[in-house]
Structure 1
Amino acid sequence: MRKEVLVTGGAGFIGANFIQYLLDHTSYHITNIDSLTHSANPEALMQFSKSPYYRFYLLDLRNQDQLNEVFDRQYDVIIHFAALTDVNEKKYSPIEYYDVNVLGTMNLLEKVRQGYAGKFIYVSTGKVYGGLEEKERPSTEETVINPNNSYVESKVSGEMIVRSYINAYQIPAIITRCSNNYGPYQQKQKLIPTVILNALEEKEIPVYGDGEHVRDWIFVKDHCRAIHTVLEHGKLGEVYNISGGRERSTLDVVKLILDYMNKSHQLIRHVEDREEGDRRYALNWEKANFTLSWKPEMSFYNGLVKTIEWYTSKQLQQT
C-alpha cells in the first residue's frame, strides 16, 4: 500500500521542495494543506496538481472545522512545516506568532492523539539554540536552547508542546532542527534570491551591517532528503539537527553570487543592521550521520550555481 502523507505548509519554500522531492522519489499519496500567505508558491502548486498522488486543501490550522475536512483518512505521517516566519518584516505581533505556530501545532497533535496519524514530524529551526561566538563549536542536540525573538520563541514553544504530548500521551513524534536553507522557490525577500534578482537588474544589493554575520547554509534538497530519512528511519522521541556544514558570511555569499553572474561588487550597499541579527549560527549534524547515515551532499558553490540558474531562468521567462 502507498503511504498516506500529510504535509503542512507545502506551498512554502521548504514544504514545496519537499513535496517535489517525494513526488520524484516515492510513490506516497500526498495531502498538502496551506493557508496560502504571501510566501506561497502558486507555480509549485500548479505543478503538483498534475500528479494523481497529490491533493491540496486551502485552510487555516487554527480552524478546527476546516482541519476536520482533511482527516477523512488515516495518515502514516504528518510532516509539519507550516509556521509564521517573517521575523525580520515585523508585520506580526508576538501573539500572532504564538497563535499560528503553537495553536496550529497543538491542533495537529490532537489529531495524532485521536488516532488519525501514525507519526508526527515537527520541523523546527536551528535558531532555537541562539547565536554562537566565532570560535564556539556548532550547536548539538544537547546544546541549551536560547531563543531571542518572537518567531524562535514560538517554535520552541511548539517543540515543548510536542514533547509534552510525547510524555503525556506517548505520541509518536520526532523533532528536527535545520540551519539556513537556500534553493528554488525561496521567497524573493530572502538574502540569496534578493542578491540574484537585484544583480540581474543591476540594482543595489543591501547588506546588513558589516556583512560579517555567519550562517550555516544547506541546499534545500539536502534538507528534504534528511526529512525523508527521518520519516523512514528516525527514532521516535528524538531530536535531529540537519545542517549543511557550510558556514559563510553574508558578504562572502553576496560576492560569490556577483562573481558567478559577472556583476560588479559596486552594487553592494551596507545598510543599518537588524536588532535581532545574531552574528553566527551553526549546527552539528553528526547525530543524523551516525544514526541515520545521512549527510549533506551538495557543495555550497554548486548549490548556489543551481539556485542562480533557477532564478535567472524564471526571470527570463517573465520578460
Structure 2
Amino acid sequence: MVNYMKNNRINIISDDNEQLYLSQKSWGSLRNKTVLVTGATGMLAACMVRFFVYLNRKDQLNIRVLLLARSEQKVQDLFGELTGEFECFYQDVCQPIEFDDEVDFVIHAASNASPYHIKHDPVGIIQANVVGTMNLLELVKNKRVKNFLFMSTREVYGNLESQELIRERDFGSFDPLDSRSCYPESKRMAETLLQS
C-alpha cells in the first residue's frame, strides 16, 4: 500500500510537471538563471522546486536552484534523491540572509500556515511573514533581481461577507483580538513592505 501511494504521488507530480511544461512555448528565459526559493518544504514551494528540477532535466536549462529551509531532515524526506539537484541553505528566514552570488528570481514562500502554530505561536507567524520579508528585501537590495514572487493568502482581504467576488483592491477588517488574525495581518504587512 505504501509503495502504491508513493508511486501514485510520483505519477501525479510527473503529470503536473508535464502539463505546466506544455503551457509555455519555451522556458528558455530561465536558462542559466538563479532562483532562490524560501519555505522550500511547503506544499507550493516544493512543487516549484520539483518543476525547476524537471526543466533542468528535460531541457538542460542549467537553472541554479537555491533552497532556504529550516530543516535538513524535512528537505531530505520531501525531495529524496532530488537533493543533489539543488543547493540548500538551512536557516530561519527571520535571521539575516547572506548570499554573495547574484540571484535572478526570488520565490518567497516561507510562512507557517499551520492552525496549531497560528494558535500557539502567533508572534512566530508574524516574524516569519514580516521580518522574513524584510530580510529578503535586504538581501536583494543590491542584487539585480528580475522578479520577486511573494506567496500571500486570500485571507489578506479580511471579512468581506457582502461580496461574492473579491477584487485586488478590496480589503475587509480583521478582529485584532483574534490570534488567528496574526497570519493575514502579517501577510498584508509583507505585501505593504514589498510595495514600498
Residues 178-216 of structure 1 deviation map (CA, whole Å, 9 limit, x = unaligned) = xxxxxxxxxxxxxxxxxxxxxxxxxxxxxxxxxxxxxxx
Q: Does residue 47 of the first structure (1) align with residue 81 of the second (2)?
A: yes
The alignment partner of 1:11 has SS state of coil
Sequence identity, in percent? 27
Q: How is 1:117-266 mapped onto 2 (pairs within 5 angstroms)? A: 117-133=145-161, 136-148=163-175, 149-164=181-196
Match of 2:124 among 96, 112, 133: 96
Per the alignment, do residues 150 and 47 of structure 1 end up closer, same or farther by CA in structure 2, a change over 3 Å counting?
same
State the alpha-carbon separation in 2 of the partners of residues 98 and 37 from structure 1: 23
The aligned counterpart of 1:2 is: 32
Residues 86-139 of structure 1 deviation map (CA, whole Å, 9 limit, x = unaligned) = 2345220x3222222111110110122122633211110011112443x73221
Q: How is 1:8-87 mapped onto 2 (pairs within 5 angstroms)? A: 8-25=38-55, 27=61, 28-36=63-71, 40=74, 42-51=76-85, 54-64=86-96, 67-68=97-98, 71-87=99-115
Report deviation, 1:41.
5.4
1:112 touches 1:118 (CA, 8 Å); kept in 2?
no
Per the alignment, do residues 91 and 48 of structure 1 end up closer, same or farther by CA in structure 2, a change over 3 Å counting?
farther
- C-alpha RMSD of matched pairs (Å): 2.4
Q: What stretches of structure 1 of length at least 5 have no aligned partner?
A: 165-319
State the alpha-carbon separation in 2 of the partners of residues 31 and 11 from structure 1: 12
Per the alignment, do residues 23 and 154 of structure 1 end up closer, same or farther by CA in structure 2, a change over 3 Å counting?
same
The alignment partner of 1:33 has SS state of strand
Q: Which AA in structure 1 matches 2:190?
A: G
The ranges of structure 1 where at least 4 consecutive aligned residues each deviate by more than 3 angstroms after the TM superposition are: 145-148
Per the alignment, do residues 138 and 118 of structure 1 end up closer, same or farther by CA in structure 2, a change over 3 Å counting?
same
Report deviation, 1:15.
1.1
State the alpha-carbon separation in 2 of the partners of residues 59 and 156 from structure 1: 24
Report deviation, 1:72.
2.7
Richer in strand (by share): 1
State the alpha-carbon separation in 2 of the partners of residues 49 and 12 from structure 1: 15
**Superposition TM-score, scaled by structure 2 size:** 0.69
Report deviation, 1:60.
1.4
Per the alignment, do residues 58 and 116 of structure 1 end up closer, same or farther by CA in structure 2, a change over 3 Å counting?
farther
Q: What stretches of structure 2 of length at least 5 have no aligned partner?
A: 1-30, 176-180
State the alpha-carbon separation in 1 of the partners of residues 102 and 75 from structure 2: 27
1:127 touches 1:147 (CA, 8 Å); kept in 2?
no
Per the alignment, do residues 129 and 44 of structure 1 end up closer, same or farther by CA in structure 2, a change over 3 Å counting?
same
State the alpha-carbon separation in 2 of the partners of residues 143 and 47 from structure 1: 44
The alignment partner of 2:163 has SS state of coil
State the alpha-carbon separation in 2 of the partners of residues 2 and 138 from structure 1: 40
The aligned counterpart of 1:270 is: none
State the alpha-carbon separation in 1 of the partners of residues 159 and 142 from structure 2: 38
Per the alignment, do residues 37 and 47 of structure 1 end up closer, same or farther by CA in structure 2, a change over 3 Å counting?
closer
1:128 touches 1:146 (CA, 8 Å); kept in 2?
no
Q: Considering only CA atoms, is the larger Rg found in Structure 1 or Structure 2?
A: 1
**Superposition TM-score, scaled by structure 1 size:** 0.44
